[in-house]
Amino acid sequence: MTKLGIIAACMLSLPLFVPACSDTEAPGTPIDETPIDEPPIDEPPVAEPPIDEPPVDEPPATMPPDADAFGQSMSAWGAAWWTWAFGVPEDENPLFGHDCDTHQSGPVFFLTGNMGSGAETRSCTVPADKALFFPLLNATCASYVQDDLCCNANDEELEACVNGFFDPALTIDLVAELDGVPLPNLDAHMTDAQPFSWTGPEDPATAFHPYALPTGPNECGFPEDARNGMTKGYYLMLAPLSPGEHTLRFGGKMTFPEDRVFEVDITYQLTQK
């Protein structure tokens, strides 16, 4: 092989055999074809398949106090809660421990506390996909006639009445927890004063409170069938719970300056299905 032929042959194998291409190399010198160990080629790492982990049960969303839930503000839902509560006779009313599904309708399911009688445990089955709405502490005032006195004759008087239940001089403690986990920012869930009206029992023997009855004949200028009120309070709405069993505890305590105490402490054993 000529020198030109050797150079041409070396060009073909240049990446591996550069040392064989020398001007002093004799014609015909055999090419060393001993294999050379090549450095390993770095290959991109192969992604391992993800490990399936069991889902973590997260607490349901507590709807913000300024949320528009199902077309209404939380203040409006507070008024709807009282419209419902005043409309149920005492012997059926969940406020007194009767069946929780009484007169329930729509996308929101109402739960109740009690009339300030302390700790109580109840059971309740809630339909699937229903949000829960309930008061921690709430109050209402209504227009009524007592001993010829015209009480809460207009919205201004009603609002002043209901605001009095949440005077800054009061000490207020709130509690709400689901399955043992405290729900956050309870103090932020105070609603605005909201007017409402209702229909319900006509017989004092079945109405759970005199407020729930029509005004009746009066010299105050109230329509005889008037049922007007105003509400304010700490209300929560929870997104629908996961199907199954849950424990919901809620309530609060108002301590008045004269050390009088109003306290609600309700635990619901819930089944959402």
For residue 5, pLDDT beyond 80:
no
Distance CA 217, CA 222 (A): 8
Task: Give the single-character DSSP code of 188.
Answer: G
Question: What is the predicted pLDDT for the residue at 202?
Answer: 82
For residue 206, pLDDT beyond 80:
yes
**What does residue 74 show for φ and ψ, rounded to 5 degrees?**
-65, -35
More confident residue, 1 or 223: 223
Please state the pTM of the whole predicted model: 0.75
Using alpha carbons, list the distances in angstroms from residue 272 to 49, 205, 245, 248, 250.
35, 34, 7, 12, 17
Mean pLDDT, residues 171-191 taken together = 95
Q: Which residue in this structure is represented by tokens 């004759």? A: 153
Mean pLDDT, residues 186-199 taken together = 93
For residue 175, pLDDT beyond 70:
yes
pLDDT tens, position by position, 27-66: 444 445 555 555 555 555 555 555 555 444 445 589 999 9
Contacts of 242 (CB under 8 A, 6+ apart): 57, 60, 272
Q: Pinpoint the alpha helices (H) of 121-225.
A: 155-163
For residue 176, pLDDT beyond 90:
yes
Question: What is the predicted pLDDT for the residue at 272?
Answer: 94
Q: Would you tell me how many other CB atoms lie within 10 Å of the CB of residue 80?
A: 19
Distance CA 76, CA 108 (A): 13
Binned at pLDDT 50, 70 and 90, residue 200 comes out as confident
pLDDT tens, position by position, 56-90: 444 558 999 999 999 999 999 999 999 999 989 98
For residue 217, pLDDT beyond 70:
yes
For residue 128, pLDDT beyond 70:
yes
Binned at pLDDT 50, 70 and 90, residue 127 comes out as very high
Task: Give the single-character DSSP code of 224.
Answer: T
Question: What is the predicted pLDDT for the residue at 259?
Answer: 83
Mean pLDDT, residues 190-210 taken together = 86
Q: Pinpoint the alpha helices (H) of the chain.
A: 3-12, 14-17, 74-86, 155-163
The domain ranges of the chain are: 1-42, 74-272
Tokens (6 digits) for 62: 């507590």
Binned at pLDDT 50, 70 and 90, residue 2 comes out as very low
